[in-house]
Each structure stands twice: as structure tokens, then as C-alpha cells.
């Protein structure tokens, strides 16, 4: 057996290696494989020079054949393109037009992108403006609420002023019910010890058979005296006032604004809750539970309802 590298005889002893392709043998020293690697199958996958040369030639032949095939394919493609252009001269123009359309579409897309960016920018500005408007709106809401509160306060003050003005205009007035005419009024007042040549009388239009009168005295003091004298006389009627005719009750009361009249009417319900006295004086409403109890001034209907509730709870 001869070495495929040095062509010398290979003895039975010594290290040797076999070619994986042609099965020829070679001295291990004639190869580039170390003795330590002889048991590593990957490293001893050895081919002799003749086999390696033949493998390289085969690879080169394959590469040359592949290159030849590519050249043939390129020539075939060019020939087919030439045939297409020959049979359809407008094909190239069609491709050019198509390219122009593509370019036009690209420009349109670019323009659209710019428009979209512009719209986004405008939208952002609108959002900021909307946020600013909302902030202003909230501030205005607060201002409007404050103004409404001020208006409510002013209305209450104005109403109080109107009531006060109305009361001032009625300071010298009393209401007399149960009399027939001015002559009976004058006679009845004289019976109460009131002589006032300057009184003015005005009948109040109502559906009652005997309509009440508003009597305006020349002074507040005369008015107070009339009410005080009426109180000292107790219940009045046409008989004890020497008015003659069919006996009828005579009533004297303050000339109160409608709001105070309503408050007095509501306050009189306190009599059902244990309040013995409810009355008005100089446009103010008062109540008292008993003869020596504390006098309470009634300022509004809510206060009446609270007093009624307190009576229920006690």
C-alpha cells in the first residue's frame, strides 16, 4: 500500500489516514493533521489532493454552466422585449404615461399629506381655542351666578324698600269695615273721641255688600289714638257707636300692604298652635303665647311655620 502523497510504502506500524472520497491512504506526517486530532471525526474528514483538485474543477464547471445559462436568459429577455416593442410600438409610450401617472399620484399624495398636516395643525389650534373658550365660559358662569345672587339681594332690598315706602304711605291710614258712608265714619270716630276735620275717606271696591273704607287722618298721632280708643272699647258695633239702623259689627284695623296682610293672615294660624295673641302694629306683626309671655315679632312666613313645628314637637 503506497502513500497517495509521497508514493512511498506505508508500513503496518505508524500513523496513517484514509481519503474520504477515493479511499486512498497517506502517512499522517504527509498531511496537515496532528496526531492529537486523529480521533476527532470532524477534523479527520480528509481528502487527498487529487480528489480536492477534481472537486474544484467540477465546481468551476458548474459555475461556468450557470453563467452561461444566465447569459442565455438575459438574451432571451432582451429578445422578448424587442419582440414586444416591434409588435406594439405604443407599449413604451404606455409605460411612460404610466410612469407619469405614478409620478402624478406621488405628487398628489405629497400634497394630500401636506393638507393633512395643515388640517392637523388647524385642529390643534381649534382645540386650544376651544379649551380657552371653555375656561372663559366657566368664568362667565361664575360671574353670572354672582350677578344673579347680587340681583336677588337687590330685589330683596328693593322689595323691602317698596314695602317700607308702602308702609310710609299708609302711616296715617286705617281700614274701617261695617260702616255705610262717610257720615257714619265721622260719627263713629267722634264716638271714639276722635275729631279730625282733615280726614279723607276712600271706599275700597270689593264684592261685599258693605264695602270697607280707607280713612286717612291728618296725623299719625290721630290714627294711633283712634286705634287705641277702639282697643279700650272692646268689640264695636253700630249700636254702641250710636250709628242706628240694623245692628252690625264695626272693625278698625291698620291699612297694611298685601305682603303684610298675608303674613298677618298666616300668623293668625298660630292661635291653633297655642298662641293666645296675634296682632299688627305700625306695619309689623307680633304674637305672644300668654299674657305675660315674651312678645315675638313675625318677619316672614317661614318663621310662622317654624313656630308651628315647635308647638307640634313640644
Closest CA to 118 of 106, 130, 126: 126
Rounded to whole angstroms, how far apart are CA atoms 170 and 57?
137
pLDDT in tens, 233-288: 888 998 888 888 888 999 999 999 889 999 999 999 999 999 999 999 888 999 99
Residue-wise DSSP of 16-65: EEE-TTT--EEEGGGSS--GGGTT-TTTT----HHHHHHHHHHHHHHHHH
Q: Name the grid cell of 234.
A: 272692646
Provide the pLDDT for residue 306.
94
Cβ count within 10 A of residue 267: 22
Summarize pLDDT for 166-190 with one digit per residue, the tens.
Answer: 778 888 999 999 998 888 999 889 8
Whole-prediction pTM: 0.46
Strand-pairing partners, residue 16, are 27
Give the full edge-to-edge strand order of the sheet including 173-177.
200-203, 213-216, 173-177, 249-254, 236-237
Q: What is the mean pLDDT of the chain?
A: 85
Q: Which pLDDT belongs to residue 159?
A: 78
In this prediction, residue 177 carries a pLDDT of 92
| CA dist., res. 21 & res. 54, Å (int) | 11
Nearest Cα neighbor of 190 from 225, 235, 221 is 225
Residues in the chain: 314
Low-confidence stretches of the chain (pLDDT beneath 70) = 40-43, 55-64, 81, 83-92, 95
What is residue 90's predicted lDDT score, i.e. its pLDDT?
Answer: 63
Cα(186)–Cα(136) distance, rounded to whole angstroms?
Answer: 68
Amino acid at each position: 500500500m503506497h502513500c497517495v502523497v509521497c508514493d512511498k510504502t506505508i508500513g503496518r506500524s505508524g500513523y496513517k489516514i484514509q481519503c474520504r472520497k477515493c479511499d486512498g491512504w497517506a502517512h499522517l506526517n504527509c498531511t496537515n493533521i496532528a496526531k492529537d486530532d486523529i480521533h476527532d471525526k470532524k477534523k479527520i474528514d480528509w481528502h487527498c489532493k487529487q480528489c480536492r483538485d477534481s472537486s474544484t474543477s467540477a465546481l468551476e464547471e458548474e459555475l461556468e454552466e450557470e453563467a452561461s445559462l444566465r447569459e442565455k436568459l438575459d438574451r432571451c429577455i432582451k429578445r422578448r422585449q424587442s419582440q414586444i416593442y416591434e409588435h406594439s410600438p405604443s407599449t413604451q409610450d404606455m409605460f411612460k404615461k404610466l410612469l407619469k401617472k405614478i409620478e402624478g399620484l406621488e405628487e398628489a399624495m405629497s400634497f394630500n399629506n401636506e393638507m393633512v398636516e395643515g388640517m392637523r395643525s388647524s385642529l390643534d389650534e381649534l382645540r386650544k381655542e376651544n379649551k380657552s373658550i371653555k375656561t372663559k365660559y366657566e368664568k362667565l358662569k361664575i360671574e353670572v351666578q354672582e350677578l344673579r345672587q347680587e340681583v336677588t339681594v337687590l330685589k330683596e332690598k328693593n322689595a323691602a324698600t317698596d314695602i317700607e315706602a308702602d308702609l310710609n304711605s299708609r302711616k296715617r291710614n286705617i281700614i274701617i269695615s261695617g260702616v255705610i258712608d262717610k257720615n257714619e265714619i265721622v260719627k263713629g270716630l267722634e264716638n271714639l273721641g276722635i275729631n279730625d276735620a282733615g280726614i279723607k275717606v276712600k271706599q275700597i271696591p270689593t264684592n261685599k255688600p258693605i264695602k270697607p273704607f280707607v280713612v286717612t287722618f291728618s296725623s299719625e298721632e290721630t290714627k294711633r289714638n283712634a286705634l287705641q280708643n277702639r282697643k279700650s272699647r272692646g268689640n264695636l258695633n253700630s249700636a254702641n257707636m250710636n250709628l242706628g239702623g240694623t245692628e252690625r259689627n264695626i272693625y278698625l284695623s291698620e291699612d297694611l300692604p298685601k305682603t303684610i296682610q298675608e303674613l298677618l293672615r298666616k300668623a293668625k294660624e298660630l292661635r291653633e298652635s297655642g298662641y293666645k295673641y296675634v296682632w299688627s302694629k305700625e306695619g309689623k306683626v307680633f304674637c305672644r303665647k300668654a299674657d305675660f309671655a315674651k312678645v315675638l315679632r313675625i318677619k316672614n312666613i317661614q318663621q310662622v311655620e317654624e313656630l308651628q313645628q315647635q308647638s307640634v314637637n313640644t
